Amino acid sequence: MPEFLRVVDTTLRDGMHSVTHQFSPEQMATIAAAMDAAGIDTLEASHGDGLGGSSIQYGRAAAPDRAYLEAVSSVLTRTKLAVLLLPGIGVKDDLDVAADLGAKVARIATHVTEADIAEQHIGLAKRRGMEVMGFLMMVHMAPIDVMVHNARLMEAYGADYVYAVDSAGYTLPPEVRDRVHALKDALDCRVGFHGHNNLGLAIGDTLAAVEAGADVVDGSLRGFGAGGGNAATETLVAVLQRLAIPTGVDLYKIMDAAKLVEPFKAQPKQGPDATLILGYAGVYSSFLLHTARAAERFGVDARDILVELGRRRVVGGQEDMIIDVAYELAQAG
């Protein structure tokens, strides 16, 4: 077990999916100030799909990235500001702007088999003096040796941490344990885990990661996040406190911070069954709201769409396939 477990809160980034990217900069600042007071080590802020994500394809945010980062940075006194960048959605200029506005941590995310597209972005972040966390998304879609190969690439490019990211909420605790163990054995840098709750396992998966030696884990207030959401930060802190694993987070204050997000959550119309199917099918969690809209538009069951997307092994960036599948299902009657 680590002596001090670092907790990163993703409410103001992954949680943007829960509110269709409509947090205002002022709302973000209020929530960020509460997390800062609670002692959260690092918080992440941006569009749900990272820097540059506000678009027709991924959903328009209520404000530009710059406005969010300025608002959040202005209220932080000890918590570090992180940003997520998916190469091809965000570009290097976005990372430069984020660094100028006070972001201290860059989380560079690729599909688990595509770490080689992150070299320039990791290099730029390091040159800007940022701490870098490499994100290997959809880890269930590659054998462990392939995941390790890509993790070593991220480390070689300069990543200070490499994460196993269960983007679909598909991975079971023993599988998480095996993957984190493999990363710990293979890497000199530190290792993280980011889970989703589509199968109700986000806390269990995170604890499995901690048992396997993870140095940093993610959560979000009230579990806000894509698909079934993330591990609820306040619950995670309470469980870790029960296990005598220090996080530096004040439990009561993070519980108070969690209350601030309660009025905002916009549940997808398809409800929890569609969320469950996301995890069952192994489909990227950010697909859920887009799938719910396509199901309504074409008069088909969102679950059928998600199962077919899982069969086709779609990955982030292939959201256009949702419409294709929904149309084909409607035509098939």
284 in the same domain as 247:
no
DSSP 103: -
Domain identity same for 294 and 167: no
- 61 and 134 assigned to the same domain: yes
For the chain, the C-alpha Rg in angstroms (whole number) is 18
Two tokens, residue 49: 């799909």
Within-domain flag for 1: no
Tally of domains within the chain: 2
pLDDT at 2 over 70: no
Measured CA to CA, the distance from residue 187 to residue 189 in angstroms comes to 5
* Tens digits of residue pLDDT in 8-41: 999 999 999 999 999 999 999 999 999 999 999 9
Residue type, position 261, single letter: V
Helices (H), 12-140: 25-38, 65-73, 92-100, 119-127
Pair (54, 177) in one structural domain: yes
Q: State pLDDT tens for residues 201-229.
A: 999 999 999 999 999 999 999 999 998 89
Distance (Å, rounded) from C-alpha 229 to C-alpha 46? Answer: 16
Do residue 289 and residue 253 come from a single domain?
Answer: no
- Looking at the structure, do residues 63 and 38 belong to the same domain, yes or no? yes
Write the CATH number for 13.
Answer: 3.20.20.70
143 lies in which domain range?
Answer: 6-264
Instruction: CATH number of the domain at 306, please.
Output: 1.10.8.60
What's residue 315's pLDDT?
A: 83
**Closest of 49, 46, 48, 36 to residue 79, by C-alpha:** 36
Tell me which residues are annotated as active site. Answer: 17
- Which two structure tokens, joined as six digits, stand for 295? 């199901």
* Stated pTM of the model: 0.90
- pLDDT tens, position by position, 34-68: 999 999 999 999 999 999 999 987 889 999 999 99
